[in-house]
Amino acid sequence: MRPAFTHIALHVANLDRSIRFYEDYCGLETVHLRDEPEGANVAWLAEPDKGEEFVVVLIDKGSPLPQPEGDFSHLGFALESKQAVDDVAARGGDLLAWPPRQAPYPVGYYCALKDPDGRFIEFSYGQPLGPGAELAESTGD
């Protein structure tokens, strides 16, 4: 049996604030919430109807780790159109880290916001993954 990628775990400084960010901007929903009396609280977030496939695990009481300029480490979320990317960028306001831009295939059109702990969260259209993949593959956009 080959391994299955099931989750990524991130420490966060404020669990409630991080849950709100990932629900509001990334469309994730909380599928599990656990209060640990002697430890950190934990939340599992997933795309709707995909909580048994892949989750983002948020662990409370972490330290913010702001990313320096030029560090392109990020979590990526595909959107259904370039307009949706522009809408996220506009709604992000002061959270905007990378303004919308078009890059050659396979990168596509993207922007990024900073989550409450300073991580870059990319929103893209036209990559060969997720919404827009069919168009990207046929046009090379």
Q: Which of 43, 101, 112 is nearest to 77 (CA)?
A: 112
Q: Are 111 and 95 in contact (CB under 8 A)?
A: no
Q: What is the pLDDT of residues 4-14, one digit of tens each?
A: 999 999 999 99
Give the end-to-end CA distance of the chain in Å, rounded to a whole number. Answer: 36
Domain count, the chain: 2
Domain containing 98 equals 74-139
Same domain, 40 and 81: no
Q: Are 110 and 98 in contact (CB under 8 A)?
A: yes
HEC profile for 51-67?
A: CCCCEEEEECCCCCCCC
Q: What is the pLDDT of residues 81-128, one digit of tens each?
A: 999 999 999 999 999 999 999 999 999 999 999 999 999 999 999 999
Strands across the sheet containing 42-46: 7-11, 55-59, 42-46, 29-34
Q: Give the CATH number for residue 35.
A: 3.10.180.10
Same domain, 43 and 96: no
Same domain, 84 and 125: yes
Would 100 be classed as within a structural domain?
A: yes
Would 68 be classed as within a structural domain?
A: no
pLDDT value, residue 37: 79
pLDDT band at 44 (very low <50, low <70, confident <90, very high): very high
Q: What is the pLDDT of residues 116-130, one digit of tens each?
A: 999 999 999 999 988
pLDDT value, residue 138: 59
Same domain, 40 and 91: no
